[in-house]
Amino acid sequence: MNKVLASLAVLGVWGMTLSAVQAETAAKPVAANTIKVYSPYARAVPPGQMNSAIFMTLVNPSKTPFSIKAASSPASKVTELHTTLNNNGVMEMRQVPKMDIPALGQTVLKPGSLHVMLIGLKQDMKVGEKTSVTLTFDDNSQMKFEVPIQEVAKPAGMNGMGHSAHMH
């Protein structure tokens, strides 16, 4: 029975946390002024390749959850939000409608996982050069920043990947 009481206590605390978050929505911060971007980089690809990808770490220091709903880049004709899934051992990329950046949390875009997909390259993706990306958040605020182009190893496989390992 103590377990049940303990569970109820946890739920009670959680409920209070939610109320506190809701109370703050009146003064909701602007995503583009709040989210921090660390170590953005784009994958260098040989000339003639059609596609590449951009990776980064997004940190949300606020108590407001945010998400990215779109990305654009002068590097490509089409820019999409993608994730990579393991479908019976085969790595498959899928477009996602948004990427969540949890309150007081972070979201890592990296090879074999979430990425900004550059489809139909319009510029050479050479090591040492730069491109840029504009992220649009769920509150419609936008953030544009430079992205250095780097050599990025392809993920060796899906071994040990698993998004669940990164859940908070």
Q: What are phi and psi of 126, to 5 degrees?
A: -100, 140
Binding to Cu ion by residue 117, rule CB under 5 A? yes
Q: Least separation, in Å, of the C-beta of 94 and Cu ion?
A: 8
Binding to Cu ion by residue 110, rule CB under 5 A? no
- CB within 8 A of 3, min separation 6: which ones? none
Q: Least separation, in Å, of the C-beta of 83 and Cu ion?
A: 8
Q: Alpha-carbon Rg of the chain, whole angstroms?
A: 19
Facing residues of 149 across strands? 42
Of 12-20, 37-45, 74-82, 144-152, the segment contacting Cu ion by CB under 5 A is 74-82
Q: Least separation, in Å, of the C-beta of 13 and Cu ion?
A: 39
Binding to Cu ion by residue 91, rule CB under 5 A? no
Out of 82, 101, 110, 143, which residue is the one contacting Cu ion (CB under 5 A)? 82
- CB within 8 A of 26, min separation 6: which ones? none
Helices and strands, counts by H and E, the chain: 2, 10
Binding to Cu ion by residue 30, rule CB under 5 A? no
> Given the rule CB under 5 A, which residues bind Cu ion?
82, 93, 117
